A = this chain, B = another copy of it.
Amino acid sequence: MSPSDKPLFDKVALIGVGLIGSSMARAMRRAGVAGHIAGYAHTPEIVERAREAGFADTMHSDLAACARDADLVVLAAPVGAFAQIAKAIAPHLKTGAIVSDTGSVKGTVLRDVSPHIPANVHLIPAHPIAGTEQSGPEAGFAELFDGRWCILTPADGTDTEALAKLRTFWEALGSQVEIMEAKHHDLVLAITSHLPHLIAYNIVGTANHLEQVTKGEVIKYSAGGFRDFTRIAASDPTMWRDVFLNNREAVLEMLGRFSEDLTDLQRAIRYGDGDFLFDLFTRTRAIRRGIVDAGQDSAAPNFGRNTEKSEK
């Protein structure tokens, strides 16, 4: 769509302008899908920083003012805050508006948000599978969603026109759109995202405890594998606390399986079962190839990290 066409939405309200919200604003501008982009932040400092970054037409510290008259309202805050936000904006929602979100957990969005949504407003939860370990309004960039998946988890009976419109919106932002049930989403994400983050947080925490090995040594020799985990373990603490508290059941299920498998691996090392190790390590390679082939990562060695001495 060229910017001269009538935009898909006259007004889009972004409740939260961190990495995801501010990337959406930038991608919306690139695509010309919003006549007016309103942003909300919960502290005056972030309102100010967002104004300086300039990706929104208006920035608000008042939820009602941000959501009022919006054709699309997107909750892009930690999922633990959704119930409170939904309650605050509900009386100000425009008839026919779409309310969506970007939360990493979808079951509890329906549970926490839908009781507050008026009958004449369409609630369609969404989850763009994209991100970096950076946070804040300066961290966003327009290309974040390009080629990445966005999962929509509409409840039964969702208005098909509103659903089609939200799909078009995310496609305009660069994403490929998939639709699935909230419960299945939470299971898929538990293994592809929540468990990896949990494990990364845990191993970095374990390293932090060690007394025989100093913190300086852990940092110095991190290029042997550890640094990749620290990147994930640098993700936003509030967001991730809320993810684990809100997808508890699926995360505990995946964690149970992970621990069982780890016990097998531990036993193989203890008893010197080299064949077990070699077989597992060969199978895991194939999954990697699948991800590179699917265009979800680059095959460049070392993630294309620049190994020049000048890198800092």
Contacts and interface: CB of A to CB of B under 8 A. Distances in A.
Given A202-B262, A245-B277, A303-B305, A291 B227 contact: yes
A311 B287 contact: no
Nearest to A254: B206
Interface residues of A, number: 116
Nearest to A310: B147
A119 interface: no
A218 B287 CA distance: 9
Interface in A228-256: 228-235, 237-238, 240-242, 244-245, 248, 251-252, 254-255
A157 interface: no
Interface stretch (A7-15, A82-90, A293-301): A293-301
A215 B287 contact: yes
Contacts of A301: 132-134, 139, 141
A305 B141 CA distance: 13
Contacts of A203: 195-196, 199, 258
Given A206-B254, A206-B261, A296 B227 contact: yes
A188 B201 contact: no
Contacts of A160: none
A300 to B, nearest CB: 9
10 contacts: A139-B301, A147-B307, A192-B222, A199-B262, A205-B284, A215-B287, A215-B290, A219-B290, A231-B288, A241-B274
A288 B191 contact: no
A6 interface: no
A193 B218 CA distance: 10
A60 to B, nearest CB: 27
A202 B240 contact: no
A309 B192 contact: no
A209 interface: yes
